[in-house]
Amino acid sequence: MISSYDDKAWWSAVFSFNSADTAHKLAPLLLAMTGYTLLVAFAVLDWFHIDHAMDWSNVAVMHSLLGFAISTLLVFRTNTAYDRWYEGRRLWGALTNNARNLSIKLSHIINANDGADREFFRVMIPNFAFVLKNHLRGTFRAEDWESLPEYPVEGLPQGSHLPNYVASEIFGKLNKLYFQGVIMPEQLLVLNPEIQALTDITGACERIKNTPIPYSYSSFLKKFIVIYCVTLPFGYVVSLHYWVIPVVVFIFYVLTSLEVIAEDIEDPFGLDANDLPTEEACENIRKHVGELL
Residues 151 and 96 in one domain: yes
Residues 96 and 134 in one domain: yes
Residues 181 and 117 in one domain: yes
Residues 156 and 286 in one domain: yes
Residues 41 and 139 in one domain: no
Report the pLDDT value the prediction gives residue 217, as an integer from 0 to 100. Answer: 87
Across 95-104, average pLDDT: 96
Of the candidate ranges 26-40, 64-78, 106-120, 189-203, the one whose mean pLDDT is the lowest = 64-78
Cα separation, 106 vs 110, in Å, equals 6
Report the pLDDT value the prediction gives residue 164, as an integer from 0 to 100. Answer: 96
Give a yes or no: residue 130 inside a domain: yes
Q: Can you give the residue range of the structural domain that contains 236?
A: 22-85+215-265
Report the pLDDT value the prediction gives residue 3, as an integer from 0 to 100. Answer: 56
Per-residue pLDDT at 2 exceeds 80: no
pLDDT band at 68 (very low <50, low <70, confident <90, very high): confident
Q: How many structural domains comprise the chain? A: 2
Residues 241 and 170 in one domain: no
Number of H helices, E strands in the chain: 10, 0
Cα separation, 254 vs 75, in Å, equals 12
Q: Tens digit of pLDDT for each residue in 178-220? A: 999 999 999 999 999 999 999 999 999 999 999 888 888 888 9
Look at the pTM and tell me if it is higher than 0.75: yes
Per-residue pLDDT at 154 exceeds 70: yes
Cα separation, 33 vs 230, in Å, equals 8
**Cα angle, residue 147 at apex, residues 143 and 152 outer, rounded to 5°:** 100
Identify the DSSP state of 2. Answer: P
Q: Tens digit of pLDDT for each residue in 270-287? A: 888 888 999 999 999 999
In terms of pLDDT, which residue wins out, 233 or 126?
Answer: 126
Per-residue pLDDT at 176 exceeds 80: yes
Give a yes or no: residue 205 inside a domain: yes
Q: Tens digit of pLDDT for each residue in 216-253? A: 888 899 999 999 999 888 888 888 889 999 999 999 99
Give a yes or no: residue 101 inside a domain: yes
